[in-house]
Amino acid sequence: MKGGVGEVEEARRSRVARFVFPSCVGVVGLGFGYLAGRVVTVPGSTQLWDIAAQPIATALAGAGAIGAGYLAFHNGEKSRALDTEHHKDTSERDREADLRKRYTTAASQLADESPAIREAGTYALAALADDWIRFGESTSQEELAYSEIQVCVNLLCSYLRANRRMLDEDSRGPDQRVFDAGEFSVRTSIAMVLGDRAPQWREQGQKWRSVDRLNNNRSLRVDLSGANLADMKLARLDFSGAEIQGADLSHANLAGANFSGAKMHRVKLTRKPFMIESNLSDARLGGADLSGARLHKVNLTRAWLINANLSGADLRTAIIDSSERSLMAAIWDEGTIWPEGFEIPTRPSSFEVIGDL
C-alpha cells in the first residue's frame, strides 16, 4: 500500500515540475527580453547595468517566488501523503485490535454457565469470521484474515469435540439425549453455523487464491472427530470435506445434508437417522456403523465402505455401484435390503481388511 501512495506522490511531483520549470524559464526570458528592448531603444548607451539591473532583479525574484512556491507545495503534498498513510496504518491497527478483543469476548461467552450466553458466543464468532473477511478485503491482508477465520472455526469445533456437560444415564429422559435442552440447543447452533457458514468462508478463500491474494493452499478445516451430534437437526447443511471420524450421528436429521469427500471413519449412524437424499459420495466410511439405517436416495457413489457395517440397512433407493471394490469388504447380513436388480458383490475370503479404512 505504501508503494501506491509513493506512486501517486511521484506523479503529482512530476506534473508540478512540468509546470514550474517552464514558468521559471519564461519569467527569466521575459526579463532578458525587456532588457534587450531597453538596450536597443537607447542608442549609444553604455550603461548596461543601469538599464538591466531592475528587470533582471524582477525576473529573478519572480523565478525565486515560483520556486519557493513549488517547494512549499511539494512539501505540503508529501506531508499530507505521510499523514494519510499514518492515519490508514493507525486505523488498520485499531480495527485488528478490536477484532482480536471480540474473539476474547466470544471465547469467554462460550465458557459461560448460561446456555443463552454460550449461544450468543457462537453467533458472535460467526459474525467475527465475516468481519475478518471484510478486514482482509479492505486492507489487502488476506493471509491474516483467513488464518483468523480458521481460529474461529477451530474454537467452535473444539467445543463440539469436547462433549462437555453430558448427562449421566440416570439423568437422561425418555429420548435418551445425552445433553440437557440448553446445551443441546447450543451444540445444534454451533453445528448449524459450521454447516452453513464455513462453506462460504472456504469459498472466499478460494476466490482470494484465484487472484493470487492468498498463498495458503490449505482449505478451511472443519474437524468434528469424536463429536456427539446425535439427534441433531442437520438437514441440508454442508459438511463436505469435513473430518468427522468417530462422531456420533445416531438418529440425526441428515436429510439433504452434504458429506461428500468427508472423512467419516468409524462414524456412528445408528438408531435410524433421517437420511433422505443425503450426499455421501466419495466419503470415507471405513468402519462406519450404518446398521439399521434407512438410506433413502442417499448418494454413495465412490464411497469408501471397507468394514462399514450395513447389517439391516435399507439401501433400496440408495445410489450405489455394485462394482465399487470397497463394498466387497463391507459387512452386511440377510437383513440388508439392496436396490432392485442390484448385484450383491462377492464377499472376499476375509473382509476384516487391514489397512486404510
CA 142 distance to own-chain centroid: 9
Q: What pLDDT does residue 23 have?
A: 57
Judge whether 81 lies within some domain. yes
Residues 249 and 357 grouped into a single domain? yes
Residues 325 and 253 grouped into a single domain? yes
The residue from 45, 63, 95 where one domain ends is 95
User: pLDDT category, 328, cuts 50, 70, 90?
Assistant: confident
Q: What pLDDT does residue 210 have?
A: 83
Determine the Cα–Cα distance for residues 230 and 233; give it in Å rounded to an integer: 9
Helix, coil or strand: residue 82: helix
Judge whether 102 lies within some domain. no
Residues 233 and 217 grouped into a single domain? no
Determine the Cα–Cα distance for residues 208 and 229; give it in Å rounded to an integer: 32
Helix, coil or strand: residue 314: strand
Q: Which range, 131-145, 162-176, 321-335, has the best average confidence (pLDDT)?
A: 131-145
Q: 351 CB contacts (<8 Å, ≥6 apart)? A: 307, 328, 329, 330, 331
Residues 284 and 326 grouped into a single domain? yes
pLDDT in tens, 153-172: 999 999 999 999 888 776 66
Q: Which range, 18-27, 75-84, 249-258, has the best average confidence (pLDDT)?
A: 249-258
Q: Which domain holds residue 51?
A: 2-95
Residue pair 260/239 in contact (Cβ under 8 Å)? The answer is no
Q: Among 127-136, 165-174, 182-191, 327-336, which is the least confidently predicted range?
A: 165-174
The residue from 169, 201, 221 where one domain ends is 221
Cell of residue 113, nine digits: 454457565
Judge whether 285 lies within some domain. yes
Q: Which spans in 42-141 are helix H?
A: 48-110, 115-139
- Choose between 21 and 77: higher pLDDT: 77
Determine the Cα–Cα distance for residues 357 and 346; give it in Å rounded to an integer: 19
Residue 19 has pLDDT above 70, yes or no: no
**Residue found by looking up cell 532588457 in the block:** 35
Single-letter amino acid code for the residue at 188? T
Determine the Cα–Cα distance for residues 287 and 264; give it in Å rounded to an integer: 9
Q: Among 183-192, 199-208, 210-219, which is the least confidently predicted range?
A: 210-219
Determine the Cα–Cα distance for residues 29 and 75; give it in Å rounded to an integer: 27
Q: What pLDDT does residue 1 have?
A: 44
Q: What pLDDT does residue 74 have?
A: 65
Q: 112 CB contacts (<8 Å, ≥6 apart)? A: 118, 121
Residues 211 and 229 grouped into a single domain? no
Judge whether 153 lies within some domain. yes
Residues 237 and 214 grouped into a single domain? no
The average confidence (pLDDT) of the chain is 83
Q: What is the DSSP string of 207-234?
A: HHHHTT-----PPPP-B-TT-B-TT-B-
Residues 228 and 215 grouped into a single domain? no
Judge whether 67 lies within some domain. yes
CA 73 distance to own-chain centroid: 44
Q: Among 26-40, 64-78, 232-246, 306-320, which is the least confidently predicted range?
A: 26-40
**Residue found by looking up cell 472376499 in the block:** 348
Cell of residue 355, nine digits: 489397512
Q: 247 CB contacts (<8 Å, ≥6 apart)? A: 224, 225, 226, 227, 228, 229, 264, 267, 268
- Choose between 96 and 8: higher pLDDT: 96
Judge whether 100 lies within some domain. no
Judge whether 105 lies within some domain. no
Residues 247 and 204 grouped into a single domain? no
- What's the structural domain count of the chain? 3
Q: Among 56-60, 95-99, 139-143, 298-302, which is the least confidently predicted range?
A: 56-60
CB-based burial, 208-234: b 16+ in 10 Å, e otherwise: bbeeebbeeeeebebbbbbbbbbbbeb
Residue 143: CB atoms within 10 Å: 14
Q: Among 65-74, 286-295, 299-308, which is the least confidently predicted range?
A: 65-74
Judge whether 104 lies within some domain. no
Residue 48 has pLDDT above 90, yes or no: no
Residue pair 146/216 in contact (Cβ under 8 Å)? The answer is yes
Residues 230 and 164 grouped into a single domain? no
Question: What percentage of the chain has pLDDT greater than the value 70?
Answer: 73
The residue from 221, 255, 288 where one domain ends is 221
Residues 237 and 356 grouped into a single domain? yes
- Choose between 329 and 19: higher pLDDT: 329
User: pLDDT category, 89, cuts 50, 70, 90?
Assistant: confident
Residues 203 and 228 grouped into a single domain? no
The CA R_g of the chain, rounded to the nearest whole Å, is 37
| pTM (2 d.p.) | 0.75
